[in-house]
Structure 1
Amino acid sequence: MKINQNLFAILGTFFLVAAVIYAIWTRGTEMVGITGLFGLAAMQYMVAYYLRLLDKEYKPGVDDKEDGEIAEYAGTYARFAPWSWWPLGLGAACAIVFLGVAIDWWIFIIGIGLGLFFVTGWVFEFSKGQHKH
């Protein structure tokens, strides 16, 4: 966890320096890039701070041990359904939502409805049929 904290802190510092250099280079006339780079720096620092808070609550991970081995990461992280069609439908619903943003609000509403349907189906796919727990 400490390695991740340091990585995000270093990235935050990099984006902060890049934002200052970019602001000087463009003489402050290009506000989108300057704001974006300062925003990136702020997000990196927020993630580093969040990881620092988590580090106080949880035990150290394998990557924090000096003698940690890659094989110690082995194990099951989650349960995945390779036969699931719900993510494909959700991706199509997201495409419809973005199409609705570009074209008209009624397409956006259809995309939101489809997205809710596919998210619900994906969440509850292990709660019915032969895969019920």
Structure 2
Amino acid sequence: MKIEYKLFGILFAFSLIMALIYLHFTHGDEPVGVVGLFLTAGLCLMIGSFMWWTGRKIDLRPDDDPDGEISDVEGDYGFFSPHSWWPLFLAGSCAVLFLGLAVGWWLVMLAVPLAALCVVGWVFEYFHGDSSI
């Protein structure tokens, strides 16, 4: 967890410095960018402090070992279908859905059932029922 909290500490410092520079050059006339940068700094501080606090309480991970190998963290990532068409159909129906948000709600109404059908088809692609019969 050392890498994570150091990364968020660096992002906190960068966002804070950029917020102060932005505030200086805009003279406070444009508050949205300043507020966004200060909120980004605050979020990075919260996440970094949580990582630091959690990292103190848990054992070192293989990622934290400077002499660690990639094979130390490898594991089973699950089964992914090599010849599935469902992701293509799901991407197409999501594209129609997002196009419908810009063009008209009638297109959204057509795309939502297609997207739901594609999700169900992809999830249950290899499901063949209960094998205890």
Q: TM-score, normalised by structure 2?
A: 0.71
After superposition, give the CA deviation of every residue in 1:90-123 in whole Å (9 maximum; x if it has no partner).
2212211221111111112322322222222222
1:5 corresponding residue in structure 2: 5
2:97 corresponding residue in structure 1: 97
Number of residue-to-residue matches in the alignment: 130
Report 1:17-96 matches (<5 A): 17-49=17-49, 51-52=51-52, 55=55, 59-96=59-96
Identity %: 42
Q: CA 1:26–1:92 in 2, change beyond 3 Å: closer, same or farther?
A: farther
Q: Distance in 1 between matches of 2:42 and 2:54?
A: 18
Structure index of larger Rg: 2
Query: Could you say what secondary structure the match of 1:78 adopts?
Result: coil
Q: CA 1:2–1:119 in 2, change beyond 3 Å: closer, same or farther?
A: farther
1:122 corresponding residue in structure 2: 122
Q: CA 1:126–1:35 in 2, change beyond 3 Å: closer, same or farther?
A: farther
Q: CA 1:118–1:62 in 2, change beyond 3 Å: closer, same or farther?
A: same
What displacement does 1:13 show? 2.8
> Which AA in structure 1 matches 2:25?
W
After superposition, give the CA deviation of every residue in 1:11-57 in whole Å (9 maximum; x if it has no partner).
23322322332233233444554444345434434543554566467
> Which AA in structure 1 matches 2:79?
R
Query: Could you say what secondary structure the match of 1:125 adopts?
Result: coil
What is the Cα-based RMSD across aligned positions, in Å? 3.0
Q: Distance in 2 between matches of 1:77 and 1:91?
A: 23
For structure 2, list consecutive stretches of 5 or more residues without a partner in the other structure: none
Q: TM-score, normalised by structure 1?
A: 0.71
Q: Distance in 2 between matches of 1:126 and 1:46?
A: 42
